[in-house]
Structure formats: structure tokens, C-alpha cells
Chains A and B, each alone.
Chain A
Amino acid sequence: MEKVSPSRYVHFEKDRCTACYDCVRICPTRALRFRDQAPRLRAGQCIGCGECIRVCSAGAVRAATCKPEHLDRDQISVALVSPVLYSQFPGVHPETVLQALRQMGFRHAVDMSYFLEMFQFATEDYIRRNRKKEESPWPIISPVCPVIVRLIAYKFPNLLANILPVVRPLTVMIREVVRLLNEKYDNPEQPFHLYYIVPCLTKMEPGGPFLKDSSYEVRALGFNDIFGDLRREICKVPWNAPLPDFFDYETTVSSLIWGSSGGETADLKIEDSLAVSGLKECMSYLEKIEMGLFREMEYIEFRTCTEGCVGGILTATDRYLAKRDIQQTILQGGIERRVTRSEFLRFYQEGRFAQKNSLSDMRRIFGVYEKALSLEKMAEIYRLLNHINGKNCAACGAPDCRTFAEDVVRGEACAEDCLELRAREKK
């Protein structure tokens, strides 16, 4: 029968649930069913998009996060800061945000945008090298938003081949930060504690690290978990604060653009690219790409959240205010790159972009295998569906009649759960 296990991304509070079924209906992977007065999640099918959290007006769906209590001053702790964080504090220089994080108790705070620029070089390089090759699957899809990668693995596995085969900026960053830490600290007693500060659920592993090695552990920390404390610390940062960190990547305000939809492609030096944001839009574009459209496009940036990462589920500032602030900053200063091509090539030749996972690995890691339906079962589904002739009322606990019919045929629900069918039988 149905497997129910807790999700890494969301949890449901039964006491608050008003049984409105909104979460069941909105789930893009149809991972929720309403049973015994509570939504049940098929955790393996959850891609962490957070739509159920957004739609729940009763506040019964919560993001699984790892609270900052875990921060221990004796540890060698490093905050890995995505530039989206700066958009939460309009008018504050990124360097001040990093300094405030150090005051909060992180031993080091490292800006990610240097690695984002590296990633941009790698993207341009890959596209230029493969442009003339007919066999490359076009368009190339950005691997930056992990929800999109999971969505593709689950719903559009044929498009896994379109995902840019370059490691994500976070991975390159972790590799480099750990290398530098190892140079600085000789044989530390504890593993390095890395905290990735995120606007969304995608890296959540409640109470534990999402990535672990003998010398380091990486945990995720949501924006909203540190926002209050960080804002207080920002006010306390002296105007002439020294730069105490040995990680110095000369943070620039132009990195802010990464928080907004189109930020990844804005400065990408290729022929043609698109930026799509919002889950519904992304799904509709992926459907179209699967049907052979947009083959003339070189690169498509997809972001699950509307307007990009500033619209993330764990952000603390309104997405449109953040967007306006980013646009104003970029209009004033333009976009500059610190990374030079020779620096990139050195990184490249050292194999820092090498990918560990193959396509089939990705399918295994992110994908969910549903047993294929036989033709007989498919015919049965449509027979039942015609018989129900329903209005997608969801009273059965499934998001729509089609899903319900499939659940019945797969033996995961009973036909008697359908109100329409029951009413007709009584007559």
C-alpha cells in the first residue's frame, strides 16, 4: 500500500489543518493524498518546491529547516552566502552583510558570487564548444535551481540530457572553501561546519548535514531563520570594519542580480537565451521543449519561484521590493565580473568543474520510479474515469479524478472513496 515517510522539505501539522485540500490539489507531482483527516505525503515524490506551504492559509504546512541554535562557537563554522541574501537588506553593502554574519558567530563568511561567475564562464565555454554539434540536445537547461532538476528527473526524464553538464556553483564553492580551510587549519579536531544560507527548501535535511565528508559537513540555514538576528548585527557593524577574513573575493554589488529571474542569463555571452520563472510557467516550457520547441535557443534559465530566488519560500522581504532594489542597483553600477578567463581556465584544467554524477545517477538520486502502467490498466483508468464523470472535487483525497482512477487501478485507493460513484450506486 501507500508508503508514508516524513519529507526532507515539509511537514504537516495535523492540528492546524482545516481539510481544505488546497495542498493536495496544488502539488505539481501529485504527491499528496488526503487520508484520515490529514494530508499524506509520498515523500519520494516530493521535489521541495514549497507550493503546499504557500497555498496553506491555515499555516499547517511548515518548511523543514535547521535552526541556528546548532551554531557552536568552538566549531570552525563558515557561512556560505548566496548573493540572494543581500537583496533582503536594501542599501546595505554585501561586505557589511558578511561582517554581520561573522559577528553573529560564524568564524568565516564567504560570498558565493565569485563561484557564480566561474560557473558562467563554464556555461559559455560549454555552449561555444558544442554550438556546431548537431547531436547536442538543445536548448541547454540551467542546473542552478535544484527543484527544476528534480522536476525534470521526475516528470521529464527525457530532458535530463539537456541539463548543462557542469557542476553547480555551490559544489565548486564547497570544494574550494574546504581546500582553503585545510590549508589554514592544520588537522582540526572537528570537521569544518559549513552553513549554506538559502532562500528555499532545496537543501534541507532537518537537524543534519545534507553533505558530509570526513573533513566537513554542510547544513542549510533558511533566510527567515537568521533574518532577525542578522538585521540587528548589521546595525552594529562599524563603518570602518576591518576585513578579518582570509577568504577575500572582493564582493561586488552587481552580484545582486543573481537573485532575480534573468540574473543568470543577463551577462551570459552567448547568442540566445531565455529566463523563465514560476513553477507553472516552468512546467509549461518543459512540456514544450519535450515536444521539440525552442531548439533554436541556446540556454534557458529556469527558476521554480516566481521572479527567481527573491521569491523563495524562506525569504523575509517582499519579492517585488527586492526585485526593484536589485534593478536599481544594477542600473546604477552595471554588471562587472571579477573572474578573468585565465583564472577560469586554471580552475577548469584542474578539473574543479568535473561532474561526479552521470545522467542515470541523477535519475536515481532525484527521480521516482513509478511502475509502468500496462495497456490494460490504462484502458481501465479511462473506463473508470468515464464512469466517474466527475468534477475533480478531490473529496476522495486525490487531487483530481484522473489521479484517483490511477490510484484505484494501482490498488492504492478504493472506488468507494468516490462520492459520485457512491451516489450513483444508491440510486
Chain B
Amino acid sequence: MPDILFEKSFQINKKDFVHAGEASISAKNLLKSLQMDAGMIRRASICAYEGEMNVVMHGGEGHLALAIEKNRIILEISDNGPGIADTEMAMKKGFSTASDKFRELGFGAGMGLPNMKKNADEFELSSRLGEGTRVRMAFFTDAAV
């Protein structure tokens, strides 16, 4: 296990659309002030935002945790929400369980998780019904890949 050089966790609030996205913005700004690789920051912020929106829409209370290691960063988005019944289906493009209310807001196109997988270098989704969901992603500096 490589050493974790820096860790920081940001709170995500259930159904709080007014502040949705703030955890990702904080994480992104933290990475920016470290002036880490721009491409990696871009990919990580896209994933952080998608993940945060998933928690706000479907999940319960959640966290966005950021860990920085020597050559990579790890993002972990977790919540204590209802969990995902069929993780395989959830990974399919266009599949969504978002309610009409959220679709009207422009979300729920079924692209969130596939988009996160596309942008992350490593992606792992685990979920238990009634307990919650966890998405763990790793990003390597573009130069190192």
C-alpha cells in the first residue's frame, strides 16, 4: 500500500440541491492549489461532480473523500442511502432510476456512472440494499499513464 500523503473529506447532504456540487468544487480547488496535473484534475472533478449528484439525487447523507498519494489520487464517494439493486444495470448507459422530478431538472440521463467509469483510471462500485453505496476511483497523473 502506497502512503497516503494527504486526506480530506467533504460532506454531501441528502436532497440538498441548493448546495449540490460544493463538495466537488472544494475538492477541485484543493487539487488546483496543489497545481497537480491539469488533465487529472479535470477528469477527477467530472467524476466527483457526477458522484456527488448521484448521492444528492438517490442517496442519503454522504461523503466525498479525497486521498492523495505519490502518483495518484483516490476519490471515494459513499452514502448511507437505499443502495443499488442491480449494479450491472446501473452501469449501463441510459439506464436510470431517477424520478421525473429530477429528470425535469436535467438529471437522470443514465450517464452518471458510465461517465465516471470512462473518466477514472480505476473504478469500483459496491452497494448493499438498505445500507448504502460506495464508489472508489483512482486517477493517475496523465504524464504517468
Residues of A whose CB lies within 8 Å of any CB of B are 157-158, 287-288, 290-293, 370, 372-375, 378-379, 382, 406
Cβ of B34 and Cβ of A373 under 8 Å apart?
Answer: yes
Cβ of B34 and Cβ of A372 under 8 Å apart?
Answer: yes
Across the A-B interface, how many residue pairs have beta carbons closer than 8 Å? Answer: 45
Least Cβ distance of A153 to chain B in Å? 13
Is residue B57 within 8 Å, beta carbon to beta carbon, of the partner chain? no
With a CB–CB cut-off of 8 A, which chain A residues contact B35?
A: 372-373
With a CB–CB cut-off of 8 A, which chain A residues contact B25?
A: 287, 291
With a CB–CB cut-off of 8 A, which chain A residues contact B6?
A: 375, 378-379
Instruction: Say whether, besides A372-B33, A372-B35, A375-B68, A291 and B49 are in contact (CB < 8 Å).
Output: yes
Cβ of B42 and Cβ of A158 under 8 Å apart?
Answer: yes
Chain B interface bracket (under 10, 10 to 19, 20 to 34, 35 or more): 20 to 34
Complex: A98 Cα to B68 Cα, angstroms: 60
Cβ of B8 and Cβ of A382 under 8 Å apart?
Answer: yes
What is the chain B residue whose CB lies nearest that of A370? B33
Instruction: Say whether, besides A158-B41, A379-B6, A291 and B33 are in contact (CB < 8 Å).
Output: no
- A291-B28, A375-B34, A406-B33 provided; 7 other pairs, C-beta below 8 A? A158-B41, A287-B21, A291-B45, A292-B49, A292-B115, A372-B34, A375-B68
What is the chain A residue whose CB lies nearest that of B115? A292
Instruction: Say whether, besides A375-B6, A378-B6, A291 and B34 are in contact (CB < 8 Å).
Output: no
Cβ of B21 and Cβ of A292 under 8 Å apart?
Answer: no
With a CB–CB cut-off of 8 A, which chain B residues contact A292?
A: 42, 45-46, 49-50, 115
12 inter-chain pairs at a CB distance below 8 angstroms, sorted by A residue, are A157-B38, A158-B38, A287-B28, A290-B28, A291-B21, A291-B25, A292-B45, A373-B33, A373-B34, A375-B5, A375-B34, A406-B33
What is the chain A residue whose CB lies nearest that of B49? A291
Cβ of B34 and Cβ of A293 under 8 Å apart?
Answer: no
